[in-house]
Structure 1
Amino acid sequence: MSDDLFAAARAAMAFAHVPYSKFPVGAAIRAEDGRIYAGANIENLSFPQGWCAEPTAIGQMIMGGARKIVEIAVIAEKLPLCPPCGGCRQKIAEFATPQTRIYLCDDTGVKKTMTMPELLPFAFETEILG
């Protein structure tokens, strides 16, 4: 992973809207087009209605015209490693390949690298639904 992906995830975290949990998270995706798409978590008082940093970044990627995640970095201010939640794992899997790299970061950089099958074993396979 290059430093630009980590820097984008860390910068995105500063935009988190977390008035209730005080738990900012940032994510950055490098898509198949080489561009970086970033997002932060955005809370809502009706807690299930907020969304995580990863789907925010995925939405940016889709709106930018890309469709595949090559690599994704996730960082949280209050945890040394913040893996995506279960729902986000499936959302990432929808746009990832088995070779997609997931980087779990702290404020200094990457602390753990995973592949999609390591992050979400036995994921629903979207190819079989089409």
Structure 2
Amino acid sequence: MQMDLKIAAQAVREKAYAPYSNFKVGAALRASDGAIYVGCNVENVAYPEGTCAEAGAIAAMIAAGARAITEAYVIADSPDPVPPCGGCRQKLAEFAAADVPVTLATTDGQERQTTVGNLLPGAFGAGHMDRS
């Protein structure tokens, strides 16, 4: 099953719009219904107005009506497996349980397995807004 995510992330990474940094990122998410949603980074000359790959994949998932991530895969051409930025870690935590697996990868085949909870320990959640 992870191979589907890997292939989807690799393919969408090629579609990234990164004329300024040349740092293309692809993300693929599996939703609770098994569907795969993808996103790539989209830069803008007015930094930091671009969009991250993870945010794009989440937006596609939400637009399709899904609300829960069960697995994620992120890939970039970097020396080490690329982690999501801080904002995307919070975005992933909004739609994924702490134990949801995340694969971080490079285009040359390196992979590192982690979880949403390991990426963002102590995540701010809706429960923090509850009042006793």
Which of the five TM-score ranges fits, normalised by the shorter chain? over 0.9
Bigger drift between 118-127 and 35-44 goes to 118-127
Unaligned runs of 5+ in 1: none
- 1:28 partner letter: A
Q: Distance in 2 between matches of 1:79 and 1:13?
A: 16
Shift of 1:109: 4.6
Inter-CA distance 108–79: structure 2 relative to 1 (3 Å threshold) = closer
Aligned residues: 130
The answer to whether the 8 Å contact 2:77/2:108 transfers is no
Asked if 1 retains the 8 angstrom alpha-carbon contact of 2:80 and 2:110, the reply is no
1:48 is displaced (CA, Å) by 1.4
Distance 1:125 1:47 in 2: 28
Q: What's the Cα RMSD here?
A: 1.4
TM-score (norm 1): 0.93
Q: Alignment partner of 2:18: what SS?
A: coil
Post-superposition, which runs of at least 4 consecutive aligned residues in structure 1 deviate over 4 A?
none
2:12 paired with 1:12:
yes
Q: Counterpart of 2:104?
A: 104
Report SS of the residue matched to 2:48.
Answer: helix
Check the 8 A contact 2:31/2:68 in 1, yes or no.
yes
Stretches of structure 2 that go unaligned for 5 or more consecutive residues are: none
**C-alpha separation in 1, matches of 2:67 and 2:9:** 19
Cα 1:55/1:20, change in 2 over 3 Å: same
Equivalence map 1:3-82=2 (5 Å): 3-82=3-82
Q: TM-score, normalised by structure 2?
A: 0.92
